[in-house]
Amino acid sequence: MKDFPSCFGENGVQVADFSSSSSSTANKAAQNLVTSVYQCRLRGKSCSITVTWSKNLMGQGLSVGIDDNTNQSLCKVDIKPWLFSKKKGSKSLEASSSKLDVYWDLSSAKFGSGPEPLEGFYLGIVCERQIILLLGDMRKEALKKTGATPASSGSVLIAKREHIFGRKMFGTKAQFCDNGPVHDLMIECDTTGISDPCLVIRVDTKPLLQVKRLTWKFRGNHTILVDGIGIEVFWDVHNWLFATSLGNAVFMFKTCAPPEKLWASQPLCDPQTLHWSWSQRFRDTQSHNLGFSLILYAWKNE
């Protein structure tokens, strides 16, 4: 969880965990990744498991890291980008005096435009013959390979970070609660040659947020309702509008209080207060598992 952004800076949230490149193509390829954080139990104690899928010119890549409830790293394994190898295997790790085994099979995985597999794969983490995290649709194959049984307390997805690309439209899939429906999330914004651009966010083609006079409101937040759940939407499009070099906008979607505890409409906040609201709410999510956070880095294709 440490590499997730904690606040908005003067020039927007910056991606600091990747080296820059003079080539925009190489830079975009390096940024093509999806990171998910799961809350799990390890020998009765809460822990977080971070799974990062990456894609670059060398192929697909995968890394798994496990942190304790104070965000201290317990162990990490990197499966380097592959073209023809390392699509299937296992690795043993040591964390808190416990042996962990990571199993993966991506030999039949199918991918879309992003680095995260869509189907035909599994990724499992086993501790004391129990699977504390199991991803993918090949559940039977994973159970047979590991010889383990699912843990009594399942894992919960609490945060996700994704890099998305487009010119005027930026789309992804979003699931805001466990076992809830998967939605099509679309961000629309045309900043090319337009003096007063407008930002529109749609869920399943329905416009739920529209920000006019974007040059004045390039940072802000607002609350929308999806599946009866309050979703706080934060945005920072400073780099889209004012940066002299290639930059990205940042969006955060965070589940918040039940709708009966929300005002019917939440006004846009003062940009000067956004620094506190972003960092404080995200720290609360990390410390107390309050809901789910989706962070999107939106890169404009030239």
Kindly report, residue by residue over 265-296, the tens digit of the pLDDT. Answer: 333 333 333 333 334 444 444 444 458 999 99
Q: pLDDT tens digits for 34-65? A: 999 999 888 778 889 999 999 888 888 999 99
Determine the structural domain holding residue 131 and report its residue range. 33-154
Domain endpoint, select from 134, 154, 174: 154
- The closest alpha carbon to 45, from 97, 123, 2, belongs to 97
Could you tell me if 150 and 70 lie in one domain?
A: yes
Residues 6+ apart with CB under 8 A from 160: 34, 35, 36, 37, 292, 293, 294, 295
In a domain? residue 194: yes
Could you tell me if 81 and 147 lie in one domain?
A: yes
In a domain? residue 89: yes
Could you tell me if 143 and 226 lie in one domain?
A: no
In a domain? residue 250: yes
Strand-pairing partners, residue 165, are 299
Could you tell me if 147 and 184 lie in one domain?
A: no
160 near 172, Cβ under 8 Å?
Answer: no
Could you tell me if 177 and 122 lie in one domain?
A: no
If one counts the domains in the chain, the total is: 2
Could you tell me if 86 and 206 lie in one domain?
A: no
Could you tell me if 191 and 280 lie in one domain?
A: yes
What's the whole-model pTM score?
A: 0.79
Which strands make up the sheet holding 130-136, listed edge to edge? 88-95, 98-105, 122-127, 130-136, 149-150
Q: pLDDT tens digits for 71-86? A: 888 899 998 888 767 7
Q: How far apart are alpha carbons 129 and 148 in whole angstroms?
A: 5
